[in-house]
Amino acid sequence: MAKTDVALKEALTTIEGALGVALVDYTSGMALGTVGGGKDLDLNVAAAGNTDVVRAKVRTMEHLGLKDEIEDILITLGTQYHVIRLLKARNSSTGLFLYLALDSSRSNLAMARHQLKQVEGQLEI
């Protein structure tokens, strides 16, 4: 098991095309850890905004009566992919998600999703 900062750094350096990665608490909207980003990608703003996305999807699933779990939410932009991966504790929801921003011209989305799942498995939660 890896500490949050180690796992996030590994994600940024091993996932091809990664621009930034964050661990986010979607009950508060706070980023618990961030790596990467920069002036064009404020990961704290992205954490707060994507919290709204997760909450909206969870509410919609409840209204539809869907008894399923969200694995990933994918947002495709003109030049970027944004992947939101909800984390799962052993027996309950953790209220956390990993947020990954990718340069779409330099990344393999399927491989990035696979690697992000591995990062999830390494996190100490």
Domains of the chain: 4-122 (3.30.450.30)
Tens-place pLDDT, residues 106-119: 999 999 999 999 99
For the chain, what is the mean pLDDT? 91
State the Cα–Cα distance between residues 107 and 111, nearest whole angstrom. 8
**What is the structure's pLDDT at 47?**
94
State the Cα–Cα distance between residues 62 and 68, nearest whole angstrom. 10
**What is the structure's pLDDT at 42?**
96
Tens-place pLDDT, residues 34-64: 999 988 899 999 999 999 999 999 999 999 9
Q: Which two tokens stand for residue 45?
A: 């703003």
**What is the structure's pLDDT at 122?**
83
Mean pLDDT to the nearest integer, 3-13: 91
**What is the structure's pLDDT at 91?**
44
